[in-house]
Structure 1
């Protein structure tokens, strides 16, 4: 599920996370068919990358009209969870799914977050993500720059400590 640091705080406080619009990303049959080869792990990574791009969109929404001092750190966030009740959404993307409701903390398998050194690349990519979708080459380069940064992996029980360090 694409998320933001603020959404991670909500997950910790409420014990569940409701993805925006119920949208998440998974290894779907359509995603598997779109690749000529690849292990399950490689295809799951492709879905994770799609979720990380969607996180950029959430950051673009979060940054509109707020004071710089009040904002959370600009980091891509992806929450990986074990969920069975999903609806495929191939009309959106090969890996897109819709969740039926919030995801409980107990279902969270891992949390992926950018390191601090990715913040400037994240900020730049969040500002141009829509332009990249429309084929703007400079915007696509900005997305490439942010995707050069690997997301760090955290176990669910590390969430309080991760947020304390933000």
Structure 2
């Protein structure tokens, strides 16, 4: 059985559209204009294993936004405008194997960065950088602050 894919890339979306089938496994929302993702954005999408949010214009994640994604194993948040993530943002992602957080202006002058810094250290093998053509490199030091220091 093929996994259900929903491709909403490059649609100029400002919010996750309603009506995404609950059995969706691969959700591509890259290259949109979200700004923020609210806590219920993915509430009914527990089957999603792949969530693409690359270059999606995101500058804020609401607390709990990923909490219902218990099957998620790949999360792409690279090339956004994130300066921090809510405390506990990734704690419920028990199946996560790959996360790309590169190319965000992380604000390391704010103590809210401590959760992310600790999470990266504890999950270093999951923090990867996309090298293109489906190739990834484990790169926890590739997640850098807006001042260039490693998160």
**TM bucket normalised to smaller:** under 0.3
Bigger-Rg structure (1/2): 1
Give me the TM-score of the superposition, normalised by structure 2.
0.26
Relative CO higher for 1 or 2, CA cutoff 8 Å, sep ≥ 6? 1
Give me the TM-score of the superposition, normalised by structure 1.
0.24
The structure carrying a bigger helix percent of its residues is 1
